[in-house]
Structure 1
Amino acid sequence: MMHVCFNGQMIAENTPVFNADNRGFRYGDGVFETIKVSKERIPLIDFHFERLITSLQLLKIQHSYTKELLVQWIMRLCQLNQCKDSARVRLAAFRNAIGHAEIIIEAQPVKSIDIQTWSQGFSLTIYPYARKSRDVFANLKTANFLPYVMAGFYAVEKGFDDCIVLNDDNKICDSSKANIFMIRDNEFYTPALHQGCINGVMRRYLIDALKELNYVVHQEEIVEEDLVSADELFLTNAVKGIMPVNTFKGKQYNNSITSGIYERLIIPLFA
């Protein structure tokens, strides 16, 4: 039997944990983190915890959590669910009736990435039916994730692996499940946070790591034509690390630089 963690208590995953008047359910009044556990550790825990606490503060949700406490809950849950070697963890925090945070944590086993499948790359398209705002909440992973949910459905419906979400100025924001990078003339580009993208922990890690390797990384406005003219494209998230893009708007991309970055920065991170 799989378990979940509710406010530190380990319970069966089919146990009811909140009422119909729950604010997270009613209003999307909360945030979440998607976390990779690898070899009994959380590689990017500092970034995850900082983003979680910053988000709760911005939403004025009171809490008393420490990083050490949350790590303890996550690892206990992974041990119960027999996935402490490789797991996808979802930590959701929502506002209760008196304004304090409550937390639900899920943990499921995740398979190691198959390099042969990975190297084939991902296909992308544009989601045409929504535009992401660039307000003060745009960089948060909130429980109100509707544009990304619908973009994900659209990708499946149209036969693509993922779908790009545009902001309210028709610039590139991110994808339904990842941040996006492009490579041109051996320099890296990614939408700036003021363009409305999620402040992804893998995005943050990669920007810092690339700069340490003396690569130039630009954070700026990016349009569809920039992606088409790029040498390489790739997606990033906390669970899969880097995902190379093989096709967008009819263009085929190679992933020679992306593959090298994956081997140099992602494989050791999860080792």
Structure 2
Amino acid sequence: MPDRLDGTVALITGASSGIGEATALAFAEQGAAVALAARRADRLEALAAKIREAGGTAVTIAADVTDEQQAREAVKRTAAELGRLDTLVNNAGVMLVGPVVDAPVKEWERMVQVNLLGLLYCAHAALPHLLEAAESQPRRVADMVNISSVAGRTARRGFGVYNATKHAVGAFSESLRQEVTGRHVRVSLVEPGAVETELVSQNRPEIQELLGQRFTGVERLQAADIADAINYIVTRPRRVAVNEILIRPTEQEP
């Protein structure tokens, strides 16, 4: 039987929309108190209000995780305001794709900052709290869930730097898993395929058109589908660690 999350606290980055928002709702339904971190404070407040109306506990933290101090402060505030930290979901990310030749280097920098450095900052700040939570009730286990992508497994033309950041997330996650799994901190990697979120809309118009053509005829995953997978990971009994989940739309081939 799956465990509930009553008495635990989760911090979710990129919680203002998409996978982060859906994960926060799923965790709250399982009894976790949730800290919602993202840059768009108004969206966070609306989500927190929805969780509270359903009887849950939520705090909002306006933060840009690419700033190390803000990332650390998000973790610090979570533990201070909610009393502990049992689960970190590193969900904040951007996907700015296109050919390497003549690419805007600022897009590369942004992906490295958000997809990799932001995740590393949050992971580093959270680890002492996760290790402490894994030694205490109610569950004696803690979780870090890092959101990667199918792009973290397979390099494809036009996705070079995005591929690089997501491959790095996978390598970091596996190395950290080996380091802390004996102390009952589970590190899990979730690799979604095409999901109906705001990621595509962050690209230049010509890139958005190409991405739309690539997935013509494919029914994309919904954010709630990925949240369901994350919820599955963190509600396993203490003895079960789900190290990696690759989840694609049924019709997606590559």
TM-score in terms of structure 2 length: 0.27
Q: Greater Rg, structure 1 or structure 2?
A: 1
**Higher helix fraction (1 or 2):** 2
**Higher strand fraction (1 or 2):** 1
Higher RCO (Cα < 8 Å, 6 or more apart) = 2
TM-score in terms of structure 1 length: 0.26
